[in-house]
A and B are shown apart, each in its own frame.
Chain A
Amino acid sequence: MAGYAWLLRLLLLLLAVGLGYAVLSLPDQAQGLQPDVLGKMDQSGVTHPVTAVLLNFRGYDTLLEMAVLLLALLGIWSLGGLPEARPESEPGPVLGTLTQVLVPVLIVVAGYLLWTGAHAPGGAFQAGAVLGAAGVLLQLTGWRLPRRAAGHPLRITLVAGVAVFLIVAALPLPGGRQLLEYDPNYAGVLILVVEAFATVSIGVTLAALFFGADPTDKAPK
């Protein structure tokens, strides 16, 4: 391994120079698709261009991405139970108290981010990440999902984001429109509905990814 170290560094240096050359040879001034997006903003239902791209113009990407998130969780669950991380020490009083204060704040922040995504930076993914962080904090203090919530309620929450997105995506089909081609008059409401369900699903999925195994599993042998 050591004998090849210089060769590896040389190849990586060549790669870096090649990539750098490729980037620097791009035109200095370019607007990309920005004029196209801004030109269609009045049909998108929202006023923030990134949200318009995510949930309207390129909604297909976002729909498939929600499916990828679910797929990653299914992958972890299908590993058949992970050794649960045992904390070295009991969570201290600071973590417990801080979590009690922070979790409600995080939930409110997630709601704010979701709402503000229509006209400013924010949206379902940011809000979902904040919710996921709240879930991780709760798990660090030793909190576990109650057993009666771990079965169907959890699964329905996990799938709700993709399911509602699919239903909303299919709504325009009977009217002779394409998949995901929202009526501009209702696009704002539809996007808010999709984002609200997506936020909850993303947050719960991230927290479940942190937990690892399917909570209905018996303890691994």
Chain B
Amino acid sequence: MSVPFLYALVGIGLFCLGFHGLIVYDHLLRKILAINIMGSGVFLVLVALAKRGGEAAPDPVPHAMVITGIVVAVSATALALGLMLKVQAATGHAVLPGKSRD
């Protein structure tokens, strides 16, 4: 197994770790962070698998997709955080309705 596959497996690990956090935790900030960890895992898989040509330069197309994806992830995270603040302002808890523990 070569180095790119090792990194790709780490990326899958991050994805599943984030997925676990997304399901288990109720707090919206934790869910947003979990989605970001899932996204980082996907980016790691894409970047790692682009370098399977041995000594040759990596495939630039997945790298360009990851750059695009990072910016989209940042802006989507900002929107999610704004929605979270609104939920907190409306209900007093940053938890989805029907999920409150009181």
Partner-B contacts on A (CB < 8 A): 5, 8-9, 12-13, 15-16, 19-20, 23-24, 26-34, 37-38, 49-50, 52-54, 58, 61-62, 65, 68-69, 72-73, 75-76, 79, 82-83, 123, 125-126, 128-129, 202, 205-206, 209-210, 212
Contact = CB atoms under 8 A, between A and B. Distances in A.
A53 B60 contact: yes
Q: Which of B23, B63, B65, B74 has the most CB of A within 10 A?
A: B74
B82 A82 contact: yes
A16 B63 CA distance: 23
B16 A15 contact: yes
B79 interface: yes
Contacts of A123: 67
A61 B78 contact: no
Contacts of B19: 12, 15
Given A27-B52, A79-B82, A83-B89, A33 B59 contact: yes
Interface residues of B, number: 44
Interface of B: 1-2, 5, 8-9, 12-13, 15-16, 19-20, 23-24, 45, 49-50, 52-54, 56-65, 67-68, 70-72, 74-76, 78-79, 82-83, 85-86, 89
A142 to B, nearest CB: 20
A61 B75 contact: no
Contacts, number: 130
Contacts of A16: 12-13, 16
Contacts of B2: 28
Contact of A65 (B5, B57, B72, B82): B72
Contacts of A19: 12, 15-16
